[in-house]
């Protein structure tokens, strides 16, 4: 299964512990899935973890597991969809901590819904944009001066979808994820020139609660959150600019060459499905 995505997830644990000793790592979406697994995997390093998520009770449980392994963690219950809450979080980070060395932008929201089911739900789009785009942008605007001073790293947990042909029913999710991916790719050369490393990790399906509502995904191949946490640890050591499944380039080529075929075929399939439901 792993060969479909990232065959080589190994990293040197001793080297990682040495590299992260004394560093401060900010992780959003730290209460479930990828963020939770990453926090636990970093617990045995000497890094200071700053864990951000909405659910305080779950953050407390993650913090306790980190500390049980000898790690150090502070938690911040914050709804990143709320612009005022994001600014409050930034103020707390700047006032009480010496700065951030690595920012892992992991928090995200997924929605799969027909546009005809969203006509009276504009919040489908504002919520996904607030969490998947505006929140990481706002956080980085506040963190960049310190990241430059520390020659730090930003790791964006992205998705292969943003580089492939768009699919029906994913307008809210794909637009918001693509927006931040484009923003991040635009600012990366400027950050790199100032000594800040930038890493985009393009993930396929990951077996987290985010994909649970989509029945079609239940039996498809998917990575486990623990595997993604390993990949992020590897990215911290290598500081590579991009991680993506080996087949993504082929998918991108097909998205360009077969766009017309895809759109005609998808339109035909949707019309047939609509006729069957009438």
Query: What is the SS3 string spanning the chain?
Result: CHHHCCCCCCCCHHHHHHHHCCCEEEEECCCCHHHHHHHHHCCCCCCEEEEEECCHHHHHHHHHHHHHCCCEEEEEECCCCCHHHHHHHHHHHHHHCCCCCEEEECCCCCCCCCHHHCCCCCHHHHHHHHHHHHHHHHHHHHHHHHHHHHCCEEEEEEEHHHHCCCCCCCHHHHHHHHHHHHHHHHHHHHHHHCCCEEEEEEECCECCCCCCCCHHHCCCCCECHHHHHHHHHHHHHHCCCEECCCCHHHHHHHHHHCHHHHHHHHHHHHHHHHHHHC
Q: Per the residue annotation, which of 19, 32, 133, 173 is the catalytic one?
A: 173
Backbone angles phi, psi at 151, to 5 degrees: 50, 55
Is 173 designated active site?
yes
- Round to whole Å and give the CA distance between 145 and 10: 32
Query: 199 - beta bridge partners?
Result: 155
Catalytically annotated residues: 173
């Amino acid at each position: 299964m792993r060969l479909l995505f990232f065959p080589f997830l190994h990293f040197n644990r001793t080297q990682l512990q040495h590299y992260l000793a004394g560093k401060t790592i900010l992780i959003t979406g730290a209460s479930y899935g990828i963020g939770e697994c990453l926090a636990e995997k970093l617990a045995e390093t000497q890094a200071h973890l700053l864990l951000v998520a909405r659910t305080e009770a779950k953050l407390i449980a993650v913090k306790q597991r980190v500390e049980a392994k000898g790690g150090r963690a502070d938690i911040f219950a914050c709804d990143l969809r709320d612009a005022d809450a994001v600014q409050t979080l930034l103020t707390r980070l700047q006032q009480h901590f010496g700065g951030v060395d690595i920012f892992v932008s992991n928090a995200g929201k997924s929605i799969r819904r027909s546009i005809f089911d969203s006509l009276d739900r504009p919040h489908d789009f504002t919520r996904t944009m607030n969490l998947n785009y505006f929140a990481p942008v706002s956080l980085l605007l506040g963190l960049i001066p310190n990241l430059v001073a520390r020659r730090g790293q930003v790791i964006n947990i992205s998705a292969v979808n943003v580089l492939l042909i768009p699919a029906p029913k994913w307008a809210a999710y794909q637009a918001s994820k693509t927006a931040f991916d484009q923003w991040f790719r635009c600012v990366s050369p400027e950050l790199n020139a100032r000594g800040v490393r930038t890493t985009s990790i393009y993930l396929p399906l990951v077996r987290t609660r985010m994909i649970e509502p989509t029945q079609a995904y239940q039996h498809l191949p998917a990575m486990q959150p623990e595997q993604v946490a390993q990949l992020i640890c590897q990215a911290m050591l290598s500081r590579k600019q991009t991680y993506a499944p080996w087949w993504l380039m082929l998918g991108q080529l097909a998205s360009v060459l077969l766009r017309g075929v895809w759109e005609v075929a998808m339109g035909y399939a949707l019309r047939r499905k609509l006729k069957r439901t009438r």
